[in-house]
Structure 1
């Protein structure tokens, strides 16, 4: 039986690279991105009729995440591997210059988005009795850097959330936080 991976933020950067590699290895790829054009391009690239499900979804919207998960679970079942990769970073600025809106956006995507995706997919994974969750952290989730305090605090949060989740999951399941290292993507430019 074909393995199934679900990747948030799969239409650019690291997420796009992972989607391509998993597809090349024969996995069924489900995923989401926020830009309709990028979602369409990746859907075409992977093959719309090949059992892949790439959807436009705002991970900060409970309604979007729930609708996406319902569609994917109905068509492909629960993922064997859930990769919470979607993330944003604030523009470089001292913390006192970061607007409340910018701070909230980073928290909403990087931390609350993970929570919404977990709520949507974990019950089906738990019912099946297997699966691995990888929540993408950062070196800045284990250290800090000036002018990116909102990003650092969310990645520290990802570390704590993931450690607690790993203690809550039943036998046969796992959750890990992954620091992928420094990768040259749009987010860092």
Structure 2
């Protein structure tokens, strides 16, 4: 495994209790970072932190990412625990189930947009001023290949992740002269617990679209995400990095 130098860095990982977020936290700790796990699931958060504690310093914060006060409180708690924040990985996301647009309830559609797009806006809004004050930061937004292509029966999810790419490009340009780099990754499906919210038909559709004929491993996503969180990433910002096994070629 290649070494990524995150010595002295503090990385916030949203949705860090499971899936790709957990893999990011694990690789960050193995790379000598300290990690703040943000998640809405308090029980799973405690379990994951217990598993990760042997690798390094981990703090846990129960956060409702769609609530500004909750995000602000978690930001302050993270600063109190670690002193500063160097990296933010906006990983938390939901699928909202599957169905044609006209059959998806408006409340479901809005909830997906709130978690997948408003959440990253609120976390960036809370954390970026602290990064500006320190003159350093790395932000990675976990979008999706669905943002590029639009998955049928997932209009809410596809739209939310396309919006996250737009946010990435705008914020990256706004911060380009401040040594704060903002990038996105666009994974194809990774076989995590999020599959429990999808139909088998949708899972099969996603797999048949991947030329490598397999799903993404969370550890593979973590490797790219944490390189983007490192100082080695120095001249890439407002950009999108693919993790789709050949599905998307742009």
TM range (shorter): over 0.9
Q: In terms of mean alpha carbon deviation, does 151-160 or 17-26 score higher?
A: 17-26
1:43 matched to 2:67? The reply is no
Distance 1:110 1:68 in 2: 18
Matches within 5 A, 1:66-145: 66-145=72-151
Q: Counterpart in 2 of 1:182? A: 189
Q: Counterpart in 2 of 1:9? A: 15
Note if contact 1:159-1:177 (Cα within 8 Å) is conserved in structure 2: yes
Note if contact 1:7-1:32 (Cα within 8 Å) is conserved in structure 2: yes
Q: In terms of mean alpha carbon deviation, does 148-157 or 169-178 score higher?
A: 169-178
Q: In terms of mean alpha carbon deviation, does 7-16 or 21-30 score higher?
A: 21-30
Deviations 1:139-172 (A, max 9, x none): 0111111100000001110011110001101331
Distance 1:46 1:63 in 2: 27
Between structure 1 and structure 2, the one with the greater Rg is: 2
SS in structure 2 of the partner of residue 132 of structure 1:
strand
Normalised TM-score (structure 2): 0.72
Gaps of at least 5 residues in structure 1 are none
Distance 1:51 1:144 in 2: 39
Note if contact 1:138-1:179 (Cα within 8 Å) is conserved in structure 2: yes
> Shift of residue 2 of structure 1?
1.6
Q: In terms of mean alpha carbon deviation, does 108-117 or 37-46 score higher?
A: 37-46
Note if contact 2:18-2:48 (Cα within 8 Å) is conserved in structure 1: no
Q: Counterpart in 1 of 2:64? A: 58
Distance 2:45 2:33 in 1: 18
